Homo-oligomer: A and B are copies of this chain.
C-alpha cells in the first residue's frame, strides 16, 4: 500500500518506501526517537506544573485570608529577571521563558482572584489540588 501526500506529512512511512527512500526512513526513525524525548520532557513538565499550581493555590488561600492583593508587581519583576537569566544559562530563547512566565502567572492570578471571591476557600480549584 503506497502512502498519500498527507500521510507523508504525518511523518509515517511504509516498508516499501523505506527501501525506495532510505534517507527518508532514517529521518523518520530520528524524528520518532526525538518525539519520545519530547513526550518524556512533557510528562516531567506536567508533573512540575501540577506542583506549581498546588503551591500557587496555597499562596492564593493565604493571600485571600490575609487580605493581600492577588497581583504582586515586585514579585513579577523578580521572576522576569530571574527566568531570563536561567533561560540564557540553559540555552533557551529568553522570549520562550517570558511566554512561559506570563502563562503560569496569568493562570495563577485568575485562580487567586477566584479564591479571594470565594472568601479564601480554594473550593472548585481543590478538584485538582
Contacts and interface: CB of A to CB of B under 8 A. Distances in A.
A50 B88 CA distance: 9
Contact of A74 (B10, B28, B39): B10
Q: Which of A58, A72, A93, A129 has the most CB of B within 10 A?
A: A93
Interface residues of A, number: 67
**Main DSSP-derived SS at the A contact region:** helix
Interface in A42-98: 42-56, 58-59, 62-63, 65-69, 71-75, 79, 82-83, 86-87, 90-93, 96-97
Contacts of A10: 72-75
Interface of A: 8-12, 23-24, 27-28, 30-31, 34-35, 37-39, 41-56, 58-59, 62-63, 65-69, 71-75, 79, 82-83, 86-87, 90-93, 96-97, 99-101, 103-104, 107, 125, 127-129
8 contacts: A28-B66, A38-B56, A43-B86, A46-B86, A49-B92, A53-B93, A99-B107, A103-B103
